[in-house]
A and B are shown apart, each in its own frame.
Chain A
Amino acid sequence: MKIPKPDTTSWDTIQKFLDDNIYALEEADNVAIKDYIIPIFKSEATDDPKVMIKFHKWLDQHIDADLRYIVTENIPMLMDATLNLYKLKVILGMRGPATEDDIIVFTKANTNSTVLKEIAKHKNFPAKAKDIMYETHNDTEYLSQEAQDIFVF
């Protein structure tokens, strides 16, 4: 079945898309649901934490879906998106404030987390936290593109 493309202009348009597709979302399995959810998570509208929370609340309230679970199961789909600190916080399952320093502290404490290992390769992940992951795992994919090019050269 072809999944309609969501209009992610604002929360109102996102909500309309979710309401219009509620039956499909209710019946979608863990694999199919990502095609509805990930484009919304990647959109600019959900850069705003208030919109993100409304999105989270809608999924929980209407279809009992766990936003973080869906997102962390599909991290490769996020690699081309721009992820702000709030989105990184959602992906990492962090509670409380999410500054770069908080993400660095979180990284130090969770270097072996599967989710962290994947998302730390993202271009928007804080550079200092990437360094920690590189030092721990000796994986050049945690380095900036420039540094990776030097290694290849």
Chain B
Amino acid sequence: MSVLFELPDYLPAKKIYWKDANYTFVVGPNGSGKTFLLNKMAEWAEEKNYSYAFYDATTSLSIAPLLMEQASDEDIIYVAKMIMDFSMDFRDDVFNWTKAKNGHTTDQIGPIGKDAKLLREVFSMCGNGYTRMFVMLYFGIQNMGNDYYFLDMPETSLHKHLSRQVINILMKNFPYTKFVISTRSPDIIDIGWTEDTVIEMTEDYVNKCRDFKYDEIFS
């Protein structure tokens, strides 16, 4: 499927020709219209009656407390599992944090990983990176099975190691969804992907999605 988006004159790219793929990365400098394009794509999905979710890094911290309050114990455990499966750092952090705070005697992460009360504490006390990750994945599981998930700057506040795992976490846990991701981070885009397409928001007229050219985009 291919869609043509017309952008306002004040943006560097005037027309974007989007070749739909399992993963679409929207890249470009500040003010190039990445978020604008994502919103246009979400409008298009709405018009087509496709189901979608939208993650916005700028608002994620402010809504996090509300989401944590409404999240069920099962959802908290599930989100923690999603992150732990890919991030040893997170496993260590959860383990050490709970040990320091509650004097856990177990050497195993297993029981902690199923303790919703503890995990809820960890998520509410931890830094911005994990909080944003929680929001991103919680939104994801509330909309699991949607046709599209639009993510605006998912790497915000994430450590390099975790931002490298974002796509892996999303890919594994949401197998029926296509992703459209705006990013400024080379870590988000793994060079090995074959099912992706990259939109670069800097060209003058018709910007066709093209094969990934890592050096050109981030040089």
A97-B177 contact given A52-B145, A57-B141, CB 8 Å threshold = no
**Which of B81, B144, B173, B176 has a CB less than 8 Å from the CB of A95?**
B176
A53 touches B1 (CB 8 A): no
**Cβ A68 vs Cβ B175 within 8 A:** yes
A13 to B208, alpha carbons, bound, how many Å? Answer: 49
Interface bits A77-93 vs B (CB < 8 Å: 1, else 0)? 00000000000011001
* Chain B: interface residue total (CB-CB under 8 A): 19
**Inter-chain contact A93/B145, CB cutoff 8 Å:** no
Interface string of A36-79 (1 = CB under 8 A from B): 00000000000001101100110011000000100000000000
Give chain A residues whose Cβ lies under 8 Å from the Cβ of B78. 57, 61
CB distance from A83 to the nearest CB of B (A): 15
The answer to the question of B214 belonging to the interface, with a C-beta cut-off of 8 Å to chain A, is no
Whole-angstrom CA separation of A96 from B28 in the bound complex: 25
Contact present for A57 and B22 (CB under 8 Å): no
Point out the residues of chain B lying under 8 angstroms from A32, CB to CB.
none
From A96, which residue of chain B is reached at the shortest CB distance? Answer: B178
Which residues of chain A have C-beta atoms less than 8 A from B187's C-beta?
none
Q: Mark B123-165, 1 if CB is under 8 A from A, else 0.
A: 0000000000000000001001101100000000000000000
Query: Which residues of chain B have C-beta atoms less than 8 A from A89's C-beta?
Result: 176
Using A49-B145, A61-B81 as known contacts, say yes or no to A93 and B20 having CB atoms under 8 A apart: no
Q: How far is the CB of B180 from chain A (nearest CB, A)?
A: 10
- Known: A57-B78, A89-B176, A105-B1. Contact between A96 and B145, CB under 8 A? no
Q: How many residues of A contact B (CB 8 A)?
A: 18
Q: Closest chain A residue to B179 by CB distance?
A: A95
Q: Is B218 an interface residue (CB 8 A)?
A: no
Q: When chains A and B are docked, how far (Å) is the Cα of A61 from the Cα of B147?
A: 21
- Shortest Cβ distance from B77 into A: residue: A61
Closest to A67 in B: B175
Contact across chains for B144 and A97 when beta carbons are under 8 A apart: no
Contact in complex: A61, B22 (CB < 8 Å): no
Contacts of B178 in A (CB 8 A): 95-96
Nearest-CB residue, chain A, relative to B171: A95
Give Cα A93 to B174, complex, Å: 11
**Are B145's CB and A50's CB within 8 A?**
yes
Name 11 A/B residue pairs within 8 A (Cβ), A-sorted: A53-B145, A61-B78, A68-B175, A95-B22, A95-B176, A95-B178, A96-B148, A96-B178, A97-B48, A97-B50, A102-B1
Closest 6 CB pairs of A and B: A96-B178, A53-B145, A95-B178, A97-B147, A95-B22, A96-B147
